[in-house]
Chain A
Amino acid sequence: MSDTLKVTIDGQSIQVPMGTSILEAARMIGGKLVPPAMCYYKPLKGSGGKCRTCLVAVTQGSEKDPRPMPKLVPSCSTSVMDGMVVESAISERVTEARQSVTEFLLINHPLDCPVCDQAGECKLQDLSFEHGKSFTNYKEERRDNEPDDLGDKIKLNVNRCILCYRCVYAAEQLCGTRDHGVLYRGDHAEISTMIEKSLDSDFIGNVIDVCPVGALTDKTFRFRSRIWFTEQWNAHRSCDKCCGKVVLHKIDGQIARVSARKNEWDEVEEWICDTCRFDKKENEDWTIESKRVPKSKSVQTLNKYSDNSQSVYVKVEGLGSERPKELE
């Protein structure tokens, strides 16, 4: 028995170590077949399985037991078996299910992207662009929650929340306190703090980075700029609490926002502390490393990086492959 397992996703085979999830295997292959993930976050233990956007069809369970799985399975929390055959983007059933899940996530979302700080780096925008429909049959009133105050650094907008629980896991695993959790149930459920306490911990700022939507945003960057107008720089400083490796978002040479470095799946590589994130906003605090080209396929790549390689542009089917126009 070899240590690696063979899995075939949309006709492409790959050998992966035991215990790998289907989603991770798909990410190793890359390309269009990678299921979207709104709640799964690799650095956070226990995350995943909740948003149901990463559903895939398993048409062959394994080499030994080739029966297909009757239901669609969440690829983030289903482990690969040897000889498994998975259908992701090519399956009509999966496409339909993802479309409905995307619609479900959007029906109670306020769709206030024009005034939302997350616009441009929002996973829900990417999701609805790639997997959603251009219309909805939803005629009902949208959910409207009372605003909560989480202190002077983090802005919580409950209406935008898609209840992915990422921030709950982040707060639990990074801060070690249980001040932060989910209250109520059903579509009244909301992220909140114990008795409206403000969040206070050295690492709580990371909930901003893990939030896929604009529910948790940085108050120090609020309404300063659209994200795609900022210049991004890799930078570091020596910090005794964290690694100190960050991304600086600059407007006219001034640091507007500090965030952690994310990989191509928008997952934080190393957590940063709140001092680095909120308090070090002067250019002399940081040692600049290099200009940063966002790896994720988002609107952020669509402006100032025309001198970089072509690959950063999003090629949208149906819109042709010509280079997008520069904004300036």
Chain B
Amino acid sequence: MARKLLLKNDHIAGINTLDVYQQHQGYEALKKALTMKSEDIVSEVQKSGLRGRGGAGFPTGMKWSFIAKPEGVPRYLVCNADESEPGTFKDRYLMEYHPHILIEGMIISCFALGANTGYIFIRGEYMFVLRKLEIALEEARKAGLLGKNILGSGFDCDIFVSPGAGAYICGEETALLEALEGKRGNPRMKPPFPAVKGLYQCPTVVNNVETLAAVVPILEMGGEEYAKIGIGKSTGTKLMSASGNINKPGVYEVEMGLTMQEFIYSDEYLGGIKNGKQLKACIPGGSSMPILPAYLVTKTINHEDRLLTYESINDGGFASGSMLGSGGFMIFDEDQCIVRNTWNLSRFYHHESCGQCSPCREGTGWLEKILYRIENGQAQMDDIDTLFKVQKGIDGNTICPLGEAAAWPVAAALRHFRDEFVWHVENPDLAQKQNYGLAKYAEMRPKPEPQPTN
């Protein structure tokens, strides 16, 4: 049985209430933290090697050390709970069933950063989760864990929950801050970064729900101990939201470094592909990350085992790898149509583009329209090249990463499944009739010839 840190009390009934949480060492980490110096907590998090769990994988300790500390200006901690990436639902699970671990993590983080106010920016669709959080916050306030003079330490801190209106773009940290200030959720120009000028032009740290919750086990066990879990620069545990054609979809806590083979096929985790079918493709990190064909899912291009770590999934760059992202693990079986899937994702990004910068505003719509035509048998061969050119025009030229998020899935689908796009163009009648494309991706490809290096 693998080690669990965030979901270790998952089997206990009523863990979402303060009493049960405190019976199981809840808020012990906070008590320990309040006796420490704030710099020591930051260095403890740095030692742990914790990386941002929201998608980018930026080292949390480093992010915390960047925060500007001008005199007389308040600092803020913002929890990014605007989990809108298709295929990702781990934060919802954590907030819904373990609200106190997030609250505890946030209080510790506020203490470490010298912030007296924390905000949880939650997506509008999670209104039921918001109510559960409010109940948990009220419990904590009554118990003296929030508010003035927490546990007699002289540290004041309060946390507020603020719902968004359901826009994907508000998960981008600067757009989130704009939305939290009550403005239209358009991403800001960087620099200045939020660590210097964030919420209300004050230094702000924005972290994902899972990142802030992971602060609790780090404090409990110590940063060095936490860093022993995992491989290399990918330390600790990661929540994976598994969905798609698998026997056991759901949220899983895995130790970094688990092999993909075990994660997908073992009974402890996903339990293999549903209905005995073959694996066709996998998106390992949420919809904006490049899709991997079956032969690259469990093995890298060099026939090494692919592991659930930031580095291993990125092995081979975008040519033969992907990114761990937010952990939205989607599996497609042999019956799924990649063109349809890519069109579906493009439709999402078209709908969610904020419309501020031109490549994303115009390009996402263009991508969707071309993919719609390909999927419905109305395309010509040159449309595939246009598709590639359009995504190239978006990639890297936008204000925020939404442009890349829209471009990467299209680029990866074209890279690995180009013949399926060609099939759709060549067989327009069949493409309209059947909901699946070609199904020959399940086999392993032969090992590539070693390239001469010089």
Contact = CB atoms under 8 A, between A and B. Distances in A.
Interface stretch (A144-152, A178-186, A241-249): A178-186
Interface in B354-369: 354-359, 361-366, 369
B2 interface: no
B382 interface: yes
B134 interface: no
B1 interface: no
B354 A186 contact: yes
B355 A51 contact: no
B189 A163 contact: no
Contacts of A185: 167, 169, 352-355
A106 to B, nearest CB: 9
B358 A186 contact: no
A105 interface: yes
Contact of B399 (A49, A103, A137): A49
Nearest to A164: B358
A189 B355 contact: yes
Contacts of A49: 189, 357, 399
Given A71-B397, A182-B184, 20 more contacts: A50-B399, A51-B357, A97-B397, A100-B393, A101-B397, A104-B358, A104-B363, A108-B362, A137-B383, A137-B386, A140-B366, A140-B370, A163-B356, A165-B356, A181-B184, A185-B167, A186-B352, A186-B361, A187-B362, A188-B355
B356 to A, nearest CB: 5
A182 B361 CA distance: 13
B369 A186 contact: no
Interface of A, secondary structure class, is: loop
A100 B359 contact: yes
A74 to B, nearest CB: 8
Contacts of A131: none
B2 to A, nearest CB: 36
Interface string B379-400: 0001100100110111011110
B358 A184 contact: no
A36 to B, nearest CB: 12
A165, A182, A184, A186: most-surrounded residue (chain B CB, <10 A): A186
Given A49-B399, A100-B393, A104-B393, A186 B357 contact: no
A72 B358 CA distance: 15
Nearest to B370: A140
Contact of B364 (A50, A72, A186): A186
A162 interface: yes
In order of increasing CB-CB distance, the 9 nearest A-B pairs are A100-B393, A189-B355, A104-B362, A186-B353, A137-B386, A187-B365, A140-B369, A49-B189, A185-B355
A105 B353 CA distance: 15
Nearest to B356: A50
A138 B357 contact: no
Contacts of B358: 50-53, 101, 104-105, 162-163
Interface in A38-60: 48-53, 55
A53, A72, A100: most-surrounded residue (chain B CB, <10 A): A100
Interface string A246-287: 000000000000000000000000000000000000000000
Contact of B397 (A55, A138, A186): A55
A188 B354 CA distance: 9
B357 A52 contact: yes
A59 to B, nearest CB: 15
Contacts of B356: 50, 163, 165
B353 A104 contact: no
Given A185-B355, A186-B351, A52 B398 contact: yes
Contacts of A189: 354-355, 361
Interface in A140-161: 140
Nearest to A181: B184
B75 interface: no
B58 to A, nearest CB: 15
B189 to A, nearest CB: 4
A125 interface: no
23 contacts: A49-B357, A53-B358, A71-B397, A77-B189, A97-B393, A100-B359, A100-B393, A100-B397, A101-B358, A101-B393, A104-B363, A108-B365, A139-B373, A140-B370, A163-B355, A163-B358, A181-B184, A182-B355, A185-B167, A185-B354, A187-B362, A187-B364, A189-B354
Interface in A68-125: 71-72, 74, 77, 97, 100-101, 103-105, 107-108
Contacts of A104: 358-359, 361-363, 366, 393
Nearest to A102: B358
Contacts of B363: 104
Contacts of B364: 186-187
Nearest to B393: A100
B355 to A, nearest CB: 3
Nearest to A143: B365
A185 B386 CA distance: 24
A181 B350 CA distance: 21
Contacts of A71: 396-397
Given A52-B398, A104-B393, A137-B386, A187 B355 contact: yes
Contact of A163 (B352, B361, B383): B361
Contacts of A186: 350-355, 361, 364-365
A251 B266 CA distance: 82
Nearest to A186: B353
Contacts of B383: 137, 139
Contacts of B357: 49-52
Contacts of A108: 362, 365
Interface string A165-182: 100000000000000011
A48 B366 CA distance: 24
Contacts of B382: 137
A107 B393 CA distance: 13
A137 B396 contact: no
A105 B362 contact: yes
A188 B180 CA distance: 23
A175 B365 CA distance: 34
Interface in A169-223: 181-182, 184-189
Interface in B218-272: none
B169, B354, B355, B369: most-surrounded residue (chain A CB, <10 A): B355
A104 B394 CA distance: 9
Interface in B86-142: none
Contacts of B355: 163, 182, 184-189
Contact of A187 (B167, B350, B390, B399): B350
B409 to A, nearest CB: 17
Nearest to A70: B396
Nearest to A100: B393
A71 B189 CA distance: 14
Interface in A265-323: none
A137 B363 CA distance: 12
B351 to A, nearest CB: 6
B353, B362, B382, B393: most-surrounded residue (chain A CB, <10 A): B362
B51 to A, nearest CB: 19
Nearest to B365: A187
